[in-house]
Amino acid sequence: MEASDTHRAVRAVFRIESARLIAGIARIVRDVGLAEELAQDALVAALEQWPESGVPENPGAWLMAAAKNRAINALRRNRMKDRRHGELVFEIEAVARRDDAVTDLEEAIDDEVGDDLLRLVFTACHPILPTEARVALTLRLLGGLSTEEIARAFLVPEPTIAQRIVRAKRTLAETQVPFEVPRGADLAPRLGSVLDVIYLVFNEGYSATAGDQLMRQELCHDALRLGRILAELEPGQPEVHGLVALMEINASRSAARTGPSGDPVLLLDQDRSRWDRLLVRRGLAALERAEALGGAHGPYVLQARIAACHAVARTPAETDWTRIASLYRELAELTRSPVVELNRAVAVSMAEGPAAGLALVDSLTSQPALQGYHLLPSARGDLLEKLGRYAEARIEFERAAALARNTRQRQRLSERAAACAEQSPSSDSPLKGQRG
């Protein structure tokens, strides 16, 4: 294997394993910023050594061992520093106990949760941090996302995200926030931001903001696993079950979302026989639990109810778009989110026709948060195309393609722009293609 191929393999492995590395090391050093640095050091070591020695049989374990050794060295350096400054023996013994814990790095701590990743999420979501910083930091540490990817998820400038992450790590280190899952009354205040984090991680896996692949399945799997653990930890919280239901149902469509060459397949064009019925049943069961707990109108439960409308429809024609539009209206009133309003516009277009949907989309074009959002011109282009306004639709698809960072999405949007360009100008009738 050539060095360039090895480097690509290293980075691919690290992308998958980085969250586990950081979480495992953070349990020892009790500092998420330092843990991230040590994990990055392990990556550098792999980039240096693997081109010579070859990719190991278990690359994740190799990276963990390399990060572990660096953690041991860091703790020993701190211990020596403590000695030089005449620190109390108690502090030295505490470091020694951490050294002993290193030998059990790959084993989970024997408690109710037993999951370092979950500890990492709750630590990053500590109330001492602003909500935006909690979400950004956890996306960085758990999902291994770049600041650019996180910025696109937040629809805010990249420097803003970078500053949030740096300040968050500094705050956690200076205040010595414990690396643990909160218990009792301390848990509820931190659940909301944790749910937001998990769903944003799932969304990045379900529809990658950048790269050559539409999906990053490992992020979906991590988010689902963390959501299921949370549901066991807090069985009386309807929004936890609502989030699990939403992720299960959305994940059920994964196999049908891409064609043979990896190109995106829109929801209405998907082969529903490829939907994972087990995940659908699990999602619907989680939704029932949420509703039984009185949480039918929470934001995640509302989104799960929308997803369920698609899941129970045997064909696209059987989809209850009127109900979906109504649920989106309720969700929009609750969240005041322009992205939700955009989704509602699409649902209204399916229930009442593209002209009705286009009117709603046009009302969103001045929203600052949507200016760099490729799905706004994409949705507008789709509705214009259905109305037979191909020249305008082409412009919108081209604008959407220019904004899209994911290669597959950009290619698909460019193809749609080209298809609109091929339409005869004489066919540009404002009524052509309108649906009832």
For CA atoms 63, 148, 228, 206, give the dihedral sign: negative
Q: Answer yes or no: is pLDDT of 69 > 70.
A: yes
CA distance 383 to 231: 39
Residue 176: exposure state from Cβ atoms within 10 A (0-12, 13-18, ≥19):
exposed
What three-state secondary structure class fits 129?
A: coil
Q: Answer yes or no: is pLDDT of 220 > 50.
A: yes
pLDDT, tens digit (0-9, with 9 covering 90-100), for 247-288: 999 999 999 999 988 889 999 999 999 999 999 999 999 999
Into which CATH architecture does domain 327-436 fall? Alpha Horseshoe (1.25)
Q: Which amino acid is it at 203? A: N
In whole numbers, what is the pLDDT of the chain averaged over residues? 85
CB crowding 392-406: b at 16 or more within 10 Å, else e: bbbbbbbbbbebbeb
CB crowding 3-12: b at 16 or more within 10 Å, else e: eeebeebbee
What three-state secondary structure class fits 258?
A: strand
H helices of 363-425, where? 375-386, 390-403, 407-422
pLDDT, tens digit (0-9, with 9 covering 90-100), for 190-213: 888 899 889 988 998 898 887 788
Specify the range with the lowest mean pLDDT, choosing from 18-32, 72-86, 97-111. Answer: 97-111
Q: Which amino acid is it at 320? A: D
The reported pLDDT for the residue numbered 73 is 80
pLDDT, tens digit (0-9, with 9 covering 90-100), for 20-53: 888 888 888 888 888 888 888 888 888 888 888 8
Q: Work out the average pLDDT over 94-115.
A: 44
Do residues 231 and 276 touch, judged by C-beta distance below 8 A?
no
Per-domain boundaries in the chain? 1-104, 327-436
Q: Answer yes or no: is pLDDT of 3 > 70.
A: no
The reported pLDDT for the residue numbered 430 is 41
Helix (H), strand (E) at residue 242 = helix 238-251
Both tokens of 338, joined, read 């322009």
Residue 370 DSSP label: G
Of 311, 310, 342, 335, nearest to 324 (Cα)? 310
The reported pLDDT for the residue numbered 80 is 56
Residue 108 DSSP label: P
Helices 59-84 and 3-29, interaxial angle, to 10°? 50
Q: Answer yes or no: is pLDDT of 319 > 60.
A: yes
Q: Which amino acid is it at 210? A: A
For CA atoms 432, 410, 300, 289, give the dihedral sign: positive
Neighbours of 238 (CB within 10 A): 21
The reported pLDDT for the residue numbered 424 is 54
Q: Answer yes or no: is pLDDT of 410 > 60.
A: yes
Do residues 258 and 230 touch, judged by C-beta distance below 8 A?
no
CA distance 192 to 262: 34
What three-state secondary structure class fits 178?
A: coil
Q: Work out the average pLDDT over 116-130.
A: 86
Q: Work out the average pLDDT over 175-184.
A: 85
CA distance 341 to 154: 16
Q: Answer yes or no: is pLDDT of 432 > 70.
A: no
Residue 224's pLDDT band, with cuts at 50, 70 and 90, is very high
What three-state secondary structure class fits 41?
A: helix
Q: Work out the average pLDDT over 218-226.
A: 87
Both tokens of 35, joined, read 């843990």
What three-state secondary structure class fits 373?
A: coil
Do residues 390 and 428 touch, judged by C-beta distance below 8 A?
yes
Specify the range with the lowest mean pLDDT, choosing from 114-118, 289-293, 395-399. Answer: 114-118
Max avg pLDDT among 114-128, 144-158, 163-177, 349-363? 349-363
